[in-house]
């Protein structure tokens, strides 16, 4: 239990000067994007991301 608590405490920390860890961002699922006609792989591949 002590290890679990320690890991939880560590995961809530960042380096000094960075503040607490923000929540992760939700990603649109590939199937959902595909249903809209969006190719996520292609979107990530296009030059604006490179």
Partner 1 sequence: MQQAVRDGAFPGGVALVGSRSGILARSAAGQLDAADPPVPDVNTLWDLASLTKVVGLTSGVLRLVQDGRLDLDAPVQRYLPTWTGPGKSVVTVRHLLTHSSGLPSWRPLYKEATTPAQARALVLATPLDTAPGVRMVYSDLGAILLGEIVTRVAGVPFNELVTRDVFAPLAMRETTWLPSPSKRARIAPTEVDPWRQRHLRGEVHDENAFALGGIAAHAGLFSSAADLSRLARMYLQYGQLDGARVLDSVTIARFTSRPDGSLSHRALGWEKPSGSNSAGHRMSAEAFGHTGFTGTSLWIDPAQDVFVMLLTNRVNPTRESRRIGQVRIAVADAVLGLLQGCAENAPILECPASRRYITK
**Two tokens at 20?**
């607490």
Site string for partner 1, 7-36 (x = CB under 8 A): --------xxxxx--xx-xxxx---xx--x
CA distance 34 to 38: 5
**How many residues line the site for partner 1 (CB under 8 A)?**
26
CB 10 within 8 A of CB 2: no
CA distance 40 to 48: 13
CB of 2 to partner 1, least distance (A): 27
Can you give the binding site for partner 1, defined by CB under 8 A? Answer: 15-19, 22-23, 25-28, 32-33, 36-40, 42-44, 46-50
């Amino acid at each position: 239990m002590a290890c679990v608590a320690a890991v939880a405490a560590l995961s809530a920390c960042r380096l000094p000067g960075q503040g607490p860890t923000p929540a992760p961002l939700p990603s649109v699922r590939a199937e959902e994007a595909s249903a809209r006609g969006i190719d996520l792989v292609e979107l990530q591949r296009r030059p604006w991301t490179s």
